[in-house]
Copies of this chain bind each other. A is one copy, B any other.
Amino acid sequence: MSSDPLEIYEELQAVFSKDVKSEANQKFLGGLYRASCRFLGKARSQPLKSLVRGKEYFAFRLGKKLSRAVNKMLFVAEPEEWEGFCKAISSRQTPAMESERITRIIYSVAASFFCFIDLTKDRDQKTPGTFFEYLIGHLFAWLLDVNPKTRLPVLNLDMEATLPTDFVFDLGPNRAKFNLPIKVSTRERVIQVWAHQRVLDGVYGTGRFLGTPVILTETKTDKKKSEVIEICLPDQWRIYQMHIAQLKRIYYLDVPVAYSRLNDVFPPLIVKPFGHFFAEADTLPT
């Protein structure tokens, strides 16, 4: 495999959709992690001032370029961890690896490639966003052992149309279906996630699709001040969960402090580190 992260990314891009759950995709993701870590070895890390209680952040610096904020407790530049993780999920059963470690590994795969892009490109938001869809989409597909769709038929008496969706996974008759929006961060656009869930509830029946968005982080860095904050709208989330639709889980790689508190109040809104998905995927439909 190439040692240039961008070359590996382009190879992944060329084959990803052919078989989302394939072992080949899993190998490309590991290769990208390895190549990105090697690249970041040339950069130096610069501490940032974290205004988020209980979290520390740093950024990679190379020449004049500064990467996005990276969570110090979550980031591990150890590519061999990916192989260990793949082994742990190879049986598609509850993995023999603790959830926190899984979260750190997946966070690091995403963050290392994102920082590589930050340090080598100008204002490229699209590549990180697409890569994050590949990473999370593949892992869901692998664990559920089914490839996702991105369009669903809508049969509605006098109109026949297809509805474009985020990744949806259909495990077959009488089994669970998942609606998987994947976002690097959400901000005020998050209402779309609830709205799409409502459309699925309306068209196919309430609860037929389990809404399980996966989001990387809600951090925002003020580069001039070297300060990191989290942008969260917990009261709005509660209103959306009460009045638009019910999401089953909201997974984060770097769970925002303000959202983790939603686990304890009405309405039920379960926000968890993504590593937990691998242990609870089986029981989510119940």
Contacts and interface: CB of A to CB of B under 8 A. Distances in A.
Contacts of A235: 154, 159, 161
A198 B195 CA distance: 9
A199 B163 contact: no
Interface in A44-69: none
Contact of A158 (B192, B202, B266): B266
A194 interface: yes
B159 A238 contact: yes
A257 interface: no
A203 B238 CA distance: 12
Interface stretch (A1-9, A90-98, A239-247): A239-247
Contact of A195 (B161, B191, B242): B191
Interface in A216-267: 235-236, 238-240, 242-244, 265-266
B192 A236 contact: no
| Chain A interface SS verdict (over half) | helix
Copies of this protein in the assembly total 2
A146 to B, nearest CB: 25
B191 A242 contact: no
B195 A239 contact: no
Interface residues of A, number: 28
A192 B158 CA distance: 26
Contact of A191 (B192, B201, B240): B192
Contact of A243 (B158, B199, B236, B243): B199
A27 interface: no
A224 B236 CA distance: 42
29 contacts: A154-B239, A158-B266, A159-B265, A161-B235, A161-B236, A161-B239, A163-B236, A163-B239, A164-B236, A189-B189, A191-B192, A191-B195, A191-B199, A192-B192, A192-B195, A195-B198, A195-B240, A198-B198, A198-B243, A198-B244, A199-B239, A199-B240, A201-B243, A202-B239, A202-B242, A202-B243, A203-B239, A203-B243, A244-B244
Interface of A: 154, 156, 158-159, 161, 163-164, 189, 191-192, 194-196, 198-199, 201-203, 235-236, 238-240, 242-244, 265-266
